[in-house]
Structure formats: structure tokens, C-alpha cells
Amino acid sequence: MSFWEFANPARFMRLSGRILPWLVALAVLSLGGGLIWGFFLTPDADQFGSTVKIIYIHVPSAFLAINIYFMMFVTSLIWLIRRHHVSALAAKAAAPIGAAMTLVALVTGALWGQPMWGTWWVWDPRLTSFLIMFVFYLGYLALWAAIEEPDKAADLTSILALVGSLFAVLSRYAVNFWNQGLHQGASLSMDAEENVSDVFWQPLVLSIIGFFALFLVLLLIGTRTEIRSRRLRAMLMQEAN
Amino acid sequence: MRALLLRDLRLALRSGGGAGLGLAFFLIVVMLIPFGIGPDTALLARVAPGVLWVAALLACLLSLDRLFQADAEDGSLDIIALSPLPLEGAVLIKALAHWMTTGLPLIVAAPVLGITLNLPSGGYGWLIASLAAGTPALSALGAFAASLTVGLRRGGLLLSLLVLPLYIPTLIFGARCASVAANGQDALPAFLILAGLSLGTLALAPFAAAAALRSQLR
Amino acid sequence: MAGLSFVLAAGKPVLLRGPNGVGKSTLLRALAGLVPCTGKVEIGNVALGDEDWAEQLAYAGHLDAIKPQLSVAENLGFWAGLYGGDAGAALAVFELEPLAGRLAGDCSAGQKRRIGLARLALAKRHLWLLDEPSTALDAAATALLAKHITAHCAAGGMALIATHTDLPLDAETLTLAPPSAKTADPFLEGAFV
């Protein structure tokens, strides 16, 4: 059975319905396990104090925020080339999750930085790039909401996702350039985790898996809802004829 | 191609306002800055390049939502799409017409307004150069965003939300070029990146916009 | 729309008829290449989807595509610039010379229609796709329109004209009927859990 057979809405519904309960279990176990382990069962780091524990939320959410955008790029491309409805609806369902993840990354980033740097926000390249990405997500969501005809909405939002992805990458470099010349205190760096020992690393991995599973659960539920909504629309239109 | 350019220029000039509206908006926004941050000339001189760039960028937004709207409403877009002129070329021409009626006046007005903000003397040349290199990209990206919002009721607001993040790289390099020059340093590196960015945008935006317009025509 | 298959011959125009909403306008736009469709459409060696498909046809839809701020002559001059052809001659075809200097926005609905139709006279195209061309036209203008459609077809052209009214034309008729079977929608297939 080829991967493209998932493109059929009915088949997608059947398959997603079957794996969803397992995914929910995986999400609850790994996310719950990772967070509890990370927050309560690891020692406080000497240098950073207990606030560093926030990386168990910050790192996975940031990781997902970027990867969801990439996923939207791919699914948008698939819609434009092969016109598989499930692909377009998956992108539509992923966007709010991505936006939420970006927001979580921004807030936890600020929370992490505040005790150390004394301010709630710094225009450090990473945070700034995430802020720009958040605005991209908002624009994408707004465009979906503004256009009534579903196929046209899928087309236009897909083109936006492609162009937006290109500009998100461009912005990353531009923001780095922009930040170079400014004198700042040490900027908030996620490289901190590279120096982190295994004790912290393992629950982090579990957290990341948990967030990823959470994303899949929410994605499948969201896509299923979109598919049902399209079916409803098709049925109503047919009745009208 | 010339026919479309001439037509769009004529329409812009005849539809009351034309170039004047963007220019007036530019003036007003720049005027608001001292009211907002105080008349301290040293402070104004520091922010002048960035402020002028942001104000120019916002002024460019004004006429964007009408770029394809009128043609879509009266059926002209169909006729343009069916003509021997490729749709990508039509988008580029419309962006050019937008630039000539909006961007170009801004480039001329910016140094004049720079005087009111105490822009240091070294900054004028590169301010003009950076705007000249950057505003075409603003028109091209604006045309792309306009192609997405054709026919929407509150299209102008959504268009702003869509296009402003796309403007960020151009703004960063353009304002940087002008600022660095105002401080007496070498603005060439930033300018070259800006120019490259603009050229790339001019090359790619028409394709994205034409794809969106084809979807709109269905 | 499904199951459509026909041959359009040169020499005689074809009237496209059918109830409201059946898809006459959509068919014309699909043939023009503005709306995507599956299936094959060909004029001689050129098929729908080829680069030069649009050069085979001239399309006049519901909307006149006129810019009210430009004069009649300027509107036609613009189309001539896009498509080639002689704007002056096109003006003459639909007897628009007296209006040449007037702003298109000041013209009556019937005059605007004639201006839009004058675009057809600009460049020689094989296929004319006309959507309700006689709307707002008086008897004299309708006769003028019919005369030019007939001349176009007699010279070897084809014309497909969607219309509700009777045109003074010696024409074939193609009638579209509402679809009997439900059209396939991928969201309606199968049972959802």
C-alpha cells in the first residue's frame, strides 16, 4: 500500500482513528514522564538554579515550532503539486499548534531569561526569529479564515507557506546580521543544553518525544475535524442542488 | 507591456490622490516621531535613518490593496490573463507602476524629511541609495501579498499582516545601510546585500503572485 | 460538470443554452483556460493547456473589463496594446467613433457593452467565447453584433455564445442539462468512523 493512499479522506479517517488512542497513550506517558522527571527528580544545577528546568518545556516547544513550519511547507507543496486534500487540511490543522508552540517557546524563553538577565525580553537573534515566525503563523491562519472557498483557500495559503518559509530562513540570517552590531549583555543561548550532563539530557529527550506525540495527537484530531467539516459542507451543497 | 504600464500610470494619476496620498502619509508619520519621542536633536539624529525607512515602508502599503482589486472587479484581470503578456510579466509591470507612483516619490521626499530629523550629513546619499534599492522589493512583495487578498472585504488589514513580516529582511538591511552611513562607516556591505535581496525578490515574487492570481481567477 | 463532449464547427455560430446555474459561464471560462478542467480540448494542433492556447480565442464575459476613468479610445488602445490590432478599426466595427473621446464611465450600459465587444474586432482569433453578449444592447446594436458574429464564422471562425435571449443568428444550439448523477466529491466517499 503506497503512502499516497492516505490521501483519500475516508481511508485517512479510518487509519487515524485506529492509531489515535495509541498516540494519546504515548503522549501522556512520555510527556508526563518527561516533565515530572525533569522538574521534580533532577537536582538543581549549580550555575543556573532551578529555573533552568524550564528547558523541559522551552526546548521541545521551540523544536516543534520550527519543525511544524517545515511540515506545513512540505504539505503545502504536496497540495500544490498533487492536490491531495488531506495534505492541505493537515497544514491547516498544524498551524494553530505551531503558533501555540511558538508562543510557549517565547514565553518560556522570557521566563528563563528574566532571572538571569533582569529583563523580560531581549532582542536576541533566537527570540526575535521566533517572534517573526509567530507573526508568520498568524498571517497564515488569518488567510485561511478569510477565504470562503476551501480549494482557493488551500491554494493561496499554500503559496503563502512556501514564500513564508523562504522568508523565515532569510529573516533568520537578517536578524543575526541586525543583532551583531548591538552591544548586549550575553544573549540568551540555547547552547546551554550542550553543556548539560546526562542527568538532564535523558528527561529532555523524553520531553521532546512527549511533545512530538502531543503534536501528532493534536494534528490528527485537527485534521479529522477539518475533514468532517468538509464532508458536512459537501453534503449541504449537494442537498442545495 | 508598455500598454499595461501606461494604463496603470494613467489610472493612478486620474484616480484622485495618486502619488500625493503616499507622500502625505510619509510626511505625517515622520512628523509624529518627534511628538512621540521628544524634540531632542541628538536622539532624533540617531533614529532618523530607521524612522525614515519604517515610514517609507508603511507608506508603500497604502495603495497595495487596490493593486489587483479594481481589475478583478471589472473583469480586466481575465483579459490580462488571456493576453499574450504572461501573467508574471503583468505582475511585474503592475509592481513597477506601483513603485513609480509610490516608491519613487518617497525616495525624493526622504532626504527632505531627513533634514527635519537632523539626519547627519553623511547619511543622505546612502539613505537615497538604500531606498532606491529597497523600495522596488517592497512593491514586488506588496504585489505578492495583494494577489493573496484580492476580493476580500477587509483585505487591507490582512494584507498588512501578511506583507510586513516579509518586509523585515529588506528593512533590516536598508535601515542598516542608512544608519551605518550616518555614523560615518562603510555602508557598502549592507547595500550589496540589500541590492541582492531586492533582485532576488523581483525575480521570484511575480511567479508566486501569478500563481495566486490564477487561483483567484477560477 | 461531467460527461461533456462536442465538436464545434467553423462557419456557423453555436448558441449555448441551459437553465440558470447549469454552468454556461463556467464552461466558457474553462474553454478559455481560466478554470481548470480535466479532459481534452483542441483547436487544430493546439490543445487546452498549451502555451499558445489563449491566442486561439477571444473571450467576452459578463463584465465589460472597461476602465471608467479612461476614455473609450484609451480603453481600446490599451487592449490593442495587449493583443495587437487596430483600435481605430475596432471602434468603427461597433460604431463607436462618436464616443471615442468620452470617458468610458460616462457611457450608458449598452455603450459599455459595445466597447467591451469591440475587443473582439481587434485581433483575428479562431474561437469567440461570448457570455450573454446581448445584455443591455438595443435592437440596432444586437443586429450589429449578429452581423459581426456571422462574418467571423463565415470567414472560418468558430463562436460559442451563451445566451438566454434569442439572437438574430442562423445558429446551432448546444443545451446543457443539469447533471443527473451526483458529482464525485472525495469528501463524500466512504463511511466515516
What CATH number does residue C79 fall under? 3.40.50.300
**pLDDT attached to residue A3:** 58
Is the pLDDT reported for residue A184 higher than 60? no
- Report the 10 Å Cβ neighbour count for B116: 14
The cell numbers describing B72, all together, are: 478583478
What domain range includes position B91? 41-216
Q: How many domains are there within chain B?
A: 1
The interface residues of chain A toward chain C in range 43-82, judged by CB-CB distance below 8 A, are none
B155 is a domain residue: yes
Residue B14: DSSP 8-state: H
What are the start-end ranges of the H helices in chain C?
24-32, 72-83, 87-93, 109-118, 139-154
Residue contact A13–C192, C-beta within 8 A: yes
The cell numbers describing A203, all together, are: 528527561
Mean pLDDT throughout A200-223?
90
Residue contact C188–A227, C-beta within 8 A: no
The answer to whether A224 touches A16, Cβ cutoff 8 Å, is yes
Is the pLDDT reported for residue A188 higher than 50? no
Mean pLDDT throughout B11-39?
86
Is the pLDDT reported for residue A47 higher than 90? no
Of B147, B148, B134, B156, the C-alpha closest to B202 is: B134
C186 Cβ under 8 Å from any chain A Cβ? yes
Q: Which chains touch A (3 or more CB pairs under 8 A)?
A: B, C
Residue type, B64: L
For residues A16 and A6, give the distance between their C-alpha atoms in angstroms, rounded to a whole number. 9
C22 is a domain residue: yes
Between vectors from CA B9 to CA B6 and to CA B11, what angle results, nearest 5°?
105
Q: Is C15 helix (H, G, I), strand (E, B) or coil?
A: strand
Out of B4-13, B31-40, C7-16, least confident range: C7-16
Between vectors from CA B82 to CA B95 and to CA B145, what angle results, nearest 5°?
30
B92 is a domain residue: yes
Mean pLDDT of chain B, nearest integer: 91
Residues of A in contact with B173 (CB under 8 A): 174, 177
Kindly report the nearest CA distance between residue A139 and chain B, in angstroms: 5
The answer to whether C141 touches C174, Cβ cutoff 8 Å, is no
User: Which residue of chain C has the CA closest to A84?
Assistant: C186
Residue type, C12: K
What predicted TM-score, i.e. pTM, was given to this entire model? 0.90
Give whole-number Cα distances, C44 to C18, C127, C149, C152, in Å: 27, 11, 21, 18
Of A11, A13, A234, the CB nearest to C188: A234
C67 is a domain residue: yes
Query: Per 3-state DSSP, what percentage of chain A is helix, strand, and coil (rounded to 5)?
Result: 85, 0, 15
User: Which residue of chain C has the CA closest to B82?
Assistant: C54
Phi, psi torsion values for A45, nearest 5 degrees = -75, 145
Out of A201-205, A219-223, C106-110, least confident range: A201-205
Q: Whose grid coordinates read 511628538?
A: B35
Mean pLDDT throughout B171-177?
94
Is the pLDDT reported for residue A220 higher than 60? yes
The answer to whether C113 touches C64, Cβ cutoff 8 Å, is yes
Residue contact B218–A152, C-beta within 8 A: yes
Most distant CA pair in chain B: distance in Å? 57
**pLDDT attached to residue C183:** 65
Q: Which chains touch C (3 or more CB pairs under 8 A)?
A: A, B
The answer to whether B60 touches B135, Cβ cutoff 8 Å, is yes
Mean pLDDT throughout B167-182?
93
| Angle between helical axes of B155-182 and B188-216 (0-180°, round to 10) | 170
B23 is a domain residue: no
User: Which residue of chain B has the CA closest to A143?
Assistant: B158
A8 Cβ under 8 Å from any chain C Cβ? yes
For residues C60 and C22, give the distance between their C-alpha atoms in angstroms, rounded to a whole number. 19
**pLDDT attached to residue C155:** 87
Q: Is C47 helix (H, G, I), strand (E, B) or coil?
A: strand
C174 is a domain residue: yes
For residues A79 and A157, give the distance between their C-alpha atoms in angstroms, rounded to a whole number. 10
Half-sphere exposure of C154 (CA within 13 A, CB side): 8
Mutation target among C26, C183, C192 for the A interface, most CBs of A within 10 A = C192
Q: Count of CB contacts below 8 A, A vs B? A: 71
Of A146, A27, A156, A5, the C-alpha closest to A91 is: A156
Q: Is B184 helix (H, G, I), strand (E, B) or coil?
A: coil
Q: Kindly report, residue by residue over A7-43, the tens digit of the pLDDT.
A: 788 888 888 889 999 999 999 988 888 888 877 777 6
Q: Count of CB contacts below 8 A, A vs C? A: 35
B79 Cβ under 8 Å from any chain C Cβ? yes
Pairing of strands C172-175, C14-17: parallel
Of the ranges A188-197, B171-180, C38-47, C114-123, which is most confident?
B171-180
More confident call, B98 vs A48: B98
For residues A8 and C121, give the distance between their C-alpha atoms in angstroms, rounded to a whole number. 48
Residues of B in contact with C55 (CB under 8 A): 84
Out of A38-42, A161-165, B157-161, C14-18, least confident range: A38-42
B48 is a domain residue: yes
Q: How many domains are there within chain C?
A: 1
Residues of B in contact with A181 (CB under 8 A): 176
Q: First-to-last CA distance in chain C?
A: 30
C144 is a domain residue: yes
Residues of C in contact with B213 (CB under 8 A): none
C119 is a domain residue: yes
Torsion sign over Cα A143, A147, A150, A155 = negative
What domain range includes position C54? 14-178
C7 is a domain residue: no
C70 Cβ under 8 Å from any chain B Cβ? yes
**pLDDT attached to residue C39:** 80
B4 is a domain residue: no
A152 Cβ under 8 Å from any chain C Cβ? no
Residues of B in contact with C36 (CB under 8 A): 218
Phi, psi torsion values for A189, nearest 5 degrees = -125, 130
pLDDT by residue for chain C (193 residues), tens only, comes to 677 888 888 888 888 888 887 888 888 898 888 888 888 888 877 888 788 888 888 899 888 889 988 888 889 999 998 888 888 888 888 888 888 888 888 888 888 888 988 888 888 888 899 999 888 888 888 888 888 888 888 888 888 899 888 888 888 888 888 776 666 777 877 776 5
Q: First-to-last CA distance in chain B?
A: 24
For residues C134 and C145, give the distance between their C-alpha atoms in angstroms, rounded to a whole number. 8
User: Which residue of chain B has the CA closest to C70?
Assistant: B11
C36 is a domain residue: yes
Cβ burial, residue A28 (10 Å; 0-12/13-18/19+): middle
C157 Cβ under 8 Å from any chain B Cβ? no
Of A99, A101, A108, the C-alpha closest to A136 is: A99
For residues B187 and B93, give the distance between their C-alpha atoms in angstroms, rounded to a whole number. 30
Q: What ipTM does the predicted assembly reach?
A: 0.91
More confident call, C105 vs A48: C105
Judged by phi (left if over 0) then psi (alpha if -120 to 50, else beta), residue B216 lies in: alpha
The answer to whether B165 touches A169, Cβ cutoff 8 Å, is no
Is the pLDDT reported for residue A181 higher than 50? no
Residue contact C67–B4, C-beta within 8 A: no
B152 Cβ under 8 Å from any chain A Cβ? yes
Is the pLDDT reported for residue A182 higher than 70? no
Q: Kindly report, residue by residue over B109-139, the tens digit of the pLDDT.
A: 999 999 999 898 888 999 999 999 999 999 9
Is the pLDDT reported for residue A231 higher than 70? yes
**pLDDT attached to residue A173:** 85
Residue type, B88: E
Residue A191 confidence class, pLDDT cut points 50, 70, 90: very low
Is the pLDDT reported for residue A193 higher than 50? no
Element (DSSP H or E) covering residue B77: helix B76-82
Sheet holding C57-60, edge to edge: C57-60, C127-131, C158-162, C14-17, C172-175
Residues of B in contact with A175 (CB under 8 A): 168, 172
